[in-house]
Amino acid sequence: MNAWNKFWKWYENKILGSVIVIAIIQFIQIPHMVWNADMMLEAGMVSRVHPVIDWFLYGVDLIEIVSIINVGMIMFSLIKKRKLQKQKVAEELAQN
């Protein structure tokens, strides 16, 4: 088994953990959305209170990159698994 197949076999066993990471990242987006809405409305209730808070809430956008990559990997893994299952069924039908 080559390194690529070993990696995907390992990753498929860790999909639940990946989904948990995605969920956490999405929940972190909630305060960011409130901050962003406050920024757009220029209310100043959450945004522009302290530069460090603004920096962290603005930086949350960069965390989304992990989520986007993770979702892509999960989709690829599930598609690959479904394709292998279809091939297996076709082979079994061909043998009968």
Split at pLDDT 50, 70, 90, the class of 3 is very high
Please write the tens of the pLDDT for every residue from 23-68. Answer: 888 888 888 888 887 877 788 787 788 888 888 877 877 888 888 8
CB 71 within 8 A of CB 22: yes
Q: How far apart are CA 45 and CA 49, in angstroms?
A: 7
pTM of this structure: 0.59
84: exposed, middle or buried (C-beta count within 10 Å: 0-12, 13-18, 19+)? exposed
Find the domain containing 78 and state its range.
19-91
Give the residue with greater pLDDT, 93 vs 41: 93
Residue with more model confidence, 32 or 2: 2
Q: How many domains does the chain have?
A: 1
Q: Is residue 14 part of a domain?
A: no
Residue 9 lies in a domain: no
Instruction: Write down the residue that tokens 């069924």 correspond to.
Output: 89
